[in-house]
Amino acid sequence: MKHHGLPRFARNDSHPLVTARSVATRQSMQSMERRRAMVLGALSAVGMLPLGVWAQNLAPIRILVGAPAGGSTDTMARSLAHELGRQLSRTVIVENKPGAGGNIAADAVAKAAPDGNTLLMSFTSHAINATLYPSLPFDPVKDFTPLTCVATSPSMLVAHPSLPVKDVRELIALAKSRPGKLNFAIGSVGSSLHLAGDAFKMQSGVYIVNIPYRGTAPAVQDVLAGQVELMFAAVGNAQAQVRAGKLKALGVTSAKRLAAFPDVPAISEVLPGYESSAWFGLFAPGRMDAALAKRISDAARNAVASPEVRRRLETEGYIPVGNAPEDFSKFVQAEITRWAKVVRFAGAKPD
């Protein structure tokens, strides 16, 4: 009797030899999968996961924000997230970790694996905190990979309409004639707006008293009510009141006049070299693989350059940037040096 094809026992799945071979095959495949998972896990932990594999990751990329939902930094992150996700073909979500002037979120990112799945949307305080806080649980330079500066936000020196000055030159003259009699409303101690005022005092030689508030909103309300004469406010927050005549704009903190307010002088026209713009930047954990950092940076810069994101940022009073990582890195280090001088002059302490 002929047997066609394989011997009869080879077609019997219950035969001991077939069963043993199947078990061995399954064990071998499981072992290969375990080794593959271990290799990918190790590569992910050091930021060296192949870009093709990283791009197919189903887990969302998290952008941590060290400020509450609804604030400027949160708005910036959410403006970027959707387009960044489209550029990377990944889901990008924003996660708020407010507290300690942004240090809680920064610390979480500094300690995260440099695998491209955890990013930080930080702001000017990243540079200010390097001096403002006597000790930090991370190094603001070494523990981060700068990806790009997303945007800057110049501020505006505004006054209650009753203050008898029409520009910065007249304000300096009035303040020198009344030392300690004028007041700055401060929305948050140690913030870029607080230190914009102290930089102004440092360069002009005037003595104006700081009145701290628990937030920008109550500070603005007291200036609108005439309880406090002056404050530095983000252009996006002050422009409506200025256009309505409820606040008087004396100067802008950008290096040049703003296109939206061509009649408001730059403070640098009176105090050469004065400039104080808040900035918002995207960071990754330190020690990230160069190819992965470039991939995310390029995507973020393309997102900033997209018409939809630019329109959204400009509508809110921001100036889109989207610079190269090496330029952003130099900028951050220069900012740390610059703000250190102002923090020491002001003697500012964290809340």
Least confident of 207-211, 256-260, 321-325, 347-351: 347-351
What integer is the mean pLDDT of 150-176? 96
Round the CA-based radius of gyration of the chain to a whole number and report it. Answer: 28
Assess whether pLDDT exceeds 60 at residue 160. yes
Q: Is residue 242 part of a domain?
A: yes
Given a contact cutoff of 8 angstroms between Cβ atoms, the answer to whether 312 and 148 are in contact is no
Confidence of residue 69 (pLDDT cuts 50, 70, 90): confident
Domain assignment of residue 317, yes or no: yes
Report CA dihedral (337, 338, 343, 344) to the nearest 10 degrees.
70
- The burial of 325, by beta-carbon neighbours within 10 Å (0-12 exposed, 13-18 middle, 19 or more buried), is given as buried
Domain containing residue 229: CATH number = 3.40.190.10
- Domain C-terminal end among 269, 295, 329: 269
Residue 20 in domain: no
| Residue from 158, 159, 160, 163 nearest 174 by CA | 163
Q: H or E element: which one contains 208?
A: none
Q: Are residues 144 and 62 in the same domain?
A: yes
- Backbone φ, ψ for residue 129 (5° rounding): -65, -25
Q: Is residue 13 part of a domain?
A: no
Last residue of a domain, one of 214, 235, 269: 269
Q: How far is residue 246 CA from its own chain's centroid? A: 31
Task: List pLDDT tens digits, range 43-63.
Answer: 554 445 556 555 566 689 999
Q: Does 230 lie in the same domain as 173? A: yes
Burial of 5 (0-12, 13-18, 19+ CB in 10 A): exposed
Q: Is residue 57 domain-shared with residue 99, that is, in the same domain?
A: yes
CA 80, 82, 87, 93 dihedral sign is positive
pTM given for the model: 0.77
Phi-psi region of 99 (alpha: psi -120 to 50; beta: other; left: phi over 0): left
pLDDT of amino acid 349: 80
Name 249's bridge partners: 158
On whether both 147 and 205 belong to a single domain, the answer is: no
Domain identity same for 305 and 198: no
Quick: pLDDT tens for 197-246. 999 999 999 999 999 988 788 999 999 999 999 999 988 888 899 999 99
Residue 29 has pLDDT above 60, yes or no: no
- Which band of pLDDT confidence, cut at 50, 70 and 90, is reported for residue 350? confident
**How does residue 346 score in pLDDT terms, banded at 50, 70 and 90?**
confident
* In the predicted structure, residue 38 carries a pLDDT above the cut 60: no
Q: How confident is the model at residue 5 (pLDDT cuts 50, 70, 90)?
A: very low
pLDDT number for residue 36: 52
Residue 295 sits in the same domain as residue 241 = no
Residues 6+ apart with CB under 8 A from 261: 156, 235, 239, 242, 249, 252
Mean pLDDT in residue range 242-259: 94
Mean pLDDT, residues 187-201: 90
Residues 225 and 160 in one domain: yes
Q: What is the CATH number of the domain that holds 95?
A: 3.40.190.150
Q: What is the pLDDT of residues 90-113, one digit of tens each?
A: 999 999 999 888 999 999 999 999
For the segment 111-146, what is each residue's pLDDT rounded down to a tens digit?
Answer: 999 999 999 999 999 999 999 998 999 999 999 999
Percent of the chain scoring above 90 in pLDDT: 67
> Which of residues 222, 244, 269 is at a domain's end?
269
Measured between alpha carbons, how far is 260 from 238 in angstroms, rounded to an integer?
A: 12
Higher pLDDT, 38 or 309: 309
Q: Are 108 and 285 in contact (CB under 8 A)?
A: no
The SS3 assignment for 255 reads coil
Q: How far apart are CA 296 and CA 193, in angstroms?
A: 30
89 lies in a domain? yes
pLDDT for res 34: 60
CA distance 318 to 307: 14
**Domain with 69 in it:** 52-153+278-346
Residues 166 and 253 in one domain: yes
What's the rounded Cα separation, in Å, for the pair 36 and 40?
6
User: 330 and 298 in one domain?
Assistant: yes
List of residues 6+ apart from 20 with CB closer than 8 A: none
Residue that wins the pLDDT comparison between 13 and 71: 71
The confidence score (pLDDT) of residue 8 equals 42
- Please check whether residue 138 lies inside any domain of the structure: yes
List the alpha helices (DSSP H) in the chain: 16-45, 51-55, 72-88, 103-110, 125-132, 168-177, 192-204, 216-224, 235-243, 290-305, 307-315, 325-346
Residue with the larger pLDDT of the pair 307 and 259: 307
Asked whether residue 178 falls in the same domain as residue 283, the answer is no
Q: Which of 17-26, 210-219, 258-267 has the lowest mean pLDDT?
A: 17-26
Number of domains in the chain: 2
